[in-house]
Copies of this chain bind each other. A is one copy, B any other.
Amino acid sequence: MKFTIEKNVLLENLNNTIKAISNKNVIPILNGIKFELTNKGLELTGSDSELTIKTFIDKKEITNIEKEGVVIIQSKYILDIIRKMPSDLINFELVDNVRIKIYTDNNQYSLNCLDAKEYPNVKLEENKYPITINGDVLKSIINQTAFAISNQELRPLLTGLNIKITGDVLECIATDSYRLSKKTIKLNNPVENDINIVIPGRNIIELEKIITDDEIVEIHIFSNKILFKYKNLIFQSNLLSGTYPNTTNLIPTEFEIKSTVNLNTYFDAVDRASLLTQGKDKNIVIMKIENNNMTINSYASEIGKVEEKLVVNSSENASINISFSSKYMLDALKVFKSENVNILLNNDVKPIILKSEDDDSLIELILPIKTY
């Protein structure tokens, strides 16, 4: 294997494939990136066996292909090495099949390699009729929901993102059982068979980072895995097995109280109210609505207390006193883009629902906390 490539071309692709490599990996060969050079171009593969990312750099983008070959390069230092190279053009040369020389005129790294024969053969499958979705739409629905994914391994399914498709309606749901985030979009084309899958949280968050624009993403779904195609990149993740809890009944549809608040004003008030309970487990704040007057309180016995007052726009005879985790509230508020947000309530033990004023497609649910 011998070739010359531009620093930025390699860096961009390497940056994406390396996202598949987990630092919890126990299989040594999977700490490496597979470089496979043919006269068609250079294929880079990273995998932690549950997630595989492959990118292909076309020969047109490679300055010089002198000799084909395949090798596994340790991933630990490769990004830094390439990033710090003093020249825009970088040469690669495999020596004796055990060392890769990465060099420019005045400097040279010589890295121990692993044998490509030992690299697992990950099967990347495609459907005949994939689902298609714009990159920026996909990025946005991951952004608006994935933060609510649980990081508690106790309920493994909740550590994933639930995707449900019925006809041309796609629902994306995440919950850690204290809060829930749900986004609904319309697909360009309906699917024939209903889909209900759970993608591991870590993987979907890596996908979000890779998508940078509105180019079409192809989605190929199988019983135990999902494959995304985006530009010159293939991203394949396993699916979590089991049936995601049915969350439809958790979300109330009728409400006693509706208060419309300015998003930024409300965010800042909750943020300030939560200051004194920072670092505490639940950092609880208490929200009181009395017609168009809202107060947000919080109290930490050893430090002091805080009270925020807001003028809101409430439904008639609105009156409630409800406590919640300010962290969960701030997380949920961050994903709205509208000027105002509707806070929908029933009583102090029923879920708090947040919706954008003009758009029902995003629902944020936060369970109140009893304080007495």
Contacts and interface: CB of A to CB of B under 8 A. Distances in A.
Interface of A: 74, 76-77, 80-81, 84-86, 99, 106-112, 268-269, 271-272, 275-276, 278, 302-310
Contact of A310 (B106, B272, B302): B106
Contacts of A307: 107-108, 110
A271 B107 CA distance: 12
A268 B95 CA distance: 26
Contact of A278 (B77, B272, B309): B77
Given A109-B304, A111-B304, 17 more contacts: A77-B275, A77-B278, A84-B268, A84-B271, A85-B272, A86-B268, A86-B272, A106-B310, A107-B272, A107-B309, A108-B306, A108-B307, A109-B305, A110-B305, A110-B307, A112-B302, A112-B303
Contacts of A306: 107-110
Contacts of A310: 106
How many copies make up the complex? 2
5 closest A-B pairs by beta carbon, nearest first, are: A111-B304, A106-B309, A107-B308, A109-B306, A110-B304
Contacts of A106: 308-310
Name which of A112, A272, A275, A304 has the most chain B CB atoms within 10 A of its CB. A304
Nearest to A271: B84
30 contacts: A76-B303, A77-B275, A77-B276, A77-B278, A77-B303, A81-B272, A84-B268, A84-B271, A84-B272, A86-B268, A86-B272, A106-B308, A106-B310, A107-B269, A107-B272, A107-B306, A107-B307, A107-B308, A107-B309, A108-B306, A108-B307, A109-B275, A109-B276, A109-B304, A110-B304, A110-B305, A111-B304, A112-B302, A112-B303, A112-B304
